[in-house]
A and B are shown apart, each in its own frame.
Chain A
Amino acid sequence: MRLGFFLREALRALRRNGAPSFAAMATVVVTVLVLGVFIPVVQATTGAANVVRGKVIADVYLKSGATQPDVERVRRLIESTPEVGKVVYVSKEQAYAEEKKRNPEAYDLLGANPLPDTFRVTPTRPDDITSVRNALAPLGPSGERTVADPAMDEVRNREEDTNKILSATRVVKLTIAGLAILLVIASVLLIANTIRLSLYARRRDVEVMKLVGATDWFIRWPFVIEGVLVGAIGGIVAVAVLTVMKIALVDPLAADFALIAAPETMNYGLLVAVLLLASVGVSALGSGLSLRRFLRV
């Protein structure tokens, strides 16, 4: 492998074609910066949306006379229902204590505990809430809901809230995903075009190399290495700017704003690795592929 030769060739090309190389590098810097800002924003937003969606719960109320075996039987029934994620049992007493803490005066007036034993059922995916409800409380022939177990009294999912949460978060997620895809496509096209321009300026060189008897890969390797260097330098500059921005702007704010501090945001080191890999990959691939048309001599 004549790696040294190819590396020297790539460095020579970078040195002798300052302007186009700089343009390509600047493009990489700008796109990586935009992506670097956008990826955490996407993640924070979907993270927040997921947190909200996690609140989609169906409540299964038991009859007031339910015994311990009844409770266990219903728990098994719920847990064996597909699409059920988390099941939390709240007994009469727990519910009473909870509610009393929240509203002591009102509960002091009540002599007895009016609250039933309750299972709080979270579906594995928030969108499955309806099917979970239908499984636990099938719709009867007359449109009335029956229950799957005689000890169950009623199955409720605070319907209005649930529907709002589901549709709102769905719109947010789809919009963000669409924007992210557009942004990635725009970045790739921008980098590919800049590279193609800088190669176009050197298509005569490629022609001459072919006439002297250079094989396609002998010509291509320096260009690919050049692409790697351009991508790496551009990526490093952009990551440096991002890091400065993070330390100076985002970190001080994170303490105050929950959205920025959203726990599901990607680890910064991983984000940097992804950005660098992407910038290097796209520009190396872009150089190698763009060259193809000029190699047909």
Chain B
Amino acid sequence: MAATERNLRRRRDRSHGPGQPVPASGRAAAVPSAAPGAIVEFQSVSKVYDGGHVGLDQVSFAVNPGEFVFLVGSTGSGKSTIMRLLIKELEYEGGSIRVAGRDLRDISRSRVPFYRRNIGVVFQDFKLLPNRTVHDNVAYALQVTGGTRRDIRAKVPDTLRLTGLSTKLHNYPDQLSGGEQQRVSVARAFVNHPPLLLADEPTGNLDPETSIGIMQLLYRINRAGTTVIVATHDNVMVDKMRRRVIELREGRVVRDERAGRYRLDESTREFAARLRSDPPSDPLTW
């Protein structure tokens, strides 16, 4: 709890001084076409839901290829709205969203499926197909793209090995634990090797130890070159990960910073060890 308080304090400090130097691609993206190489670029995006509820209010940020970014904020702050906008499940009113340089408005309804194949998505509730085995759930993402059997035979076992599911190949989702189901979901998102992976509260339903496993997995995928954006309200986890954090409150970006020192070349093993052992600055949080 103390860590959360400390976060809150820091947020307040930040919101006082918008002119303070914000590292890397953060605030600079508000200027039109400021981040030419960005994989994801929001420029003063606004989204108002049908009931009049404001989902996003003038949100601007940019994410560079290979980054690992956390979106944090309480429920209703707009994290999920950003995710749903990125997979073009929602339309937006103001501003522009560019993914890999392409304006999302230019993608017609019939092209949306082809766009989504370039993005891996992981959800809090896993969204697995209940009447398919682990193997078939992951294979479906390839079949959708017209992948042949040979493709499937080549890629699915590898991906399942990467996610530690080699022994659960023929189990159905309801025979797996929550952590295992989330691994399947990550495997499905990654099997196409998409340039961008979105995870919306991937650890929301999982215990802390299992969560570390999932985060380790996401980190491993990130190290393989995929840009990863994770929405979460698990502040403890975010603090320990020490990656870039974009914080939202009531649909606005209130913080965008690289939270502390970490080694870019950190191995996944070191990373996991750090997550487990590295005590937070305030021991009371554990």
Contact = CB atoms under 8 A, between A and B. Distances in A.
B127 A208 contact: yes
Interface in A33-86: none
Interface stretch (A9-17, A138-146, A232-240): A9-17
A3 interface: no
Interface string A213-252: 1111010000000000000000000000000000000000
Interface string B87-102: 1010000000000000
B141 to A, nearest CB: 5
B121 A211 contact: yes
Candidate in B87, B113, B143 with the most chain A CB atoms within 10 angstroms: B113
A149 interface: no
A295 B129 CA distance: 16
Contacts of B114: 213, 215
Candidate in A12, A212, A214, A216 with the most chain B CB atoms within 10 angstroms: A212
B177 interface: no
A99 interface: no
A225 to B, nearest CB: 15
Interface string B114-156: 1111000100000111111000000011011110000000000
B188 interface: yes
A17 B131 contact: yes
Interface string B228-254: 000000000000000000000000000
Contact of B144 (A17, A218, A297): A218
Nearest to B185: A208
Secondary structure at the A interface, as helix, strand, loop or mixed, is helix
B143 A211 contact: no
Nearest to A205: B129
Contacts of A214: 113, 144
B127 A207 contact: yes
A208 B89 contact: no
A213 B141 contact: yes
Given A13-B131, A17-B131, A209 B140 contact: yes
B113 A210 contact: yes
A211 B116 contact: yes
A208 B129 CA distance: 7
18 contacts: A2-B146, A12-B131, A13-B131, A17-B131, A205-B130, A205-B131, A208-B127, A210-B113, A212-B121, A212-B188, A213-B114, A213-B115, A213-B117, A213-B144, A213-B145, A214-B113, A214-B144, A218-B144
Interface of A: 2, 5, 12-13, 16-17, 204-205, 207-216, 218, 297
